[in-house]
Each structure stands twice: as structure tokens, then as C-alpha cells.
Amino acid sequence: MKKRMMILLLLIAVPLATIAGTPPFQGCQRLACVGKIDRIYLHPEGNIKITPPIGANGSDTSVLGCSLSEGVYATIKRSHPHFTEMYSMLLAAHMSGKDVYVRILENSPDCEVWYTSIY
């Protein structure tokens, strides 16, 4: 009986683990971009600026519901409560070649990053 229960749990858990590591889409949509981080820029003001992640087929940033800083960058404000953690996550993703999901605040003047996830 225990062996059957373990097999059943494995049959359920393995597909869920596979799904959990798959980004929801590639490229940019109105509120987020998913893909590889190309550039991380440490701005003299203390903010971090990143180019929106590049999806497998490229990324059209014109669909974002915000204005990119300098027409190029999304911004992580130093005042964000998870500034250090997001910066660390983006560095790790960049170095390991992992995809990231970058969620922005809609209508923000510099595409302020709200949160990030790594895949």
C-alpha cells in the first residue's frame, strides 16, 4: 500500500515540477517581459537599470504599458524593499543564462520593476 501511494505521489509531483520551471511566455506583454537579461546598468543615482529580457524570438518592448527609461531600460529603484534580492537574482540569472520574468508597474514613467522571477 505504501509503495502504491509513493508511486501515485511521484506521478503527480514530477509533472508539476516540470511545469513550475517553464516561463509563462517569451518576449514582452503589457505588464511583463520574459527571457534572458542582456544588460545590467548601475546608474549613478543608485538605481539599477536593465534592458527588458529578450525572449527566444526577440522582444517587442513597444507593447509594454510603461515608458522605458531613456527609451531603453526598466528600472529597479533603490527604495524598493527587495532591491538587493532582485539585483542578486538578475546577476545570477545573467551569469547562468536562465530566463527571468520581469513584472513592471503599469503606466510608470521609467518602467519601474515591481518583481522578478527566475526560471
Query: Mind listing the pLDDT tens digit for each residue in 68-98?
Result: 999 999 999 999 999 999 999 999 999 999 9
pLDDT bin (cut points 50, 70, 90) of residue 1 is: low
**How would you label 72-99 residue by residue, b for 16+ Cβ within 10 Å and e otherwise?**
ebbbbeeebeebeebbebbeebbeeeeb
pLDDT tens readout for residues 10-52 = 445 444 444 457 888 999 999 999 999 999 999 999 999 999 9
CATH topology of domain 24-118: OB fold (Dihydrolipoamide Acetyltransferase, E2P) (2.40.50)
Domain-wise residue ranges, the chain: 24-118
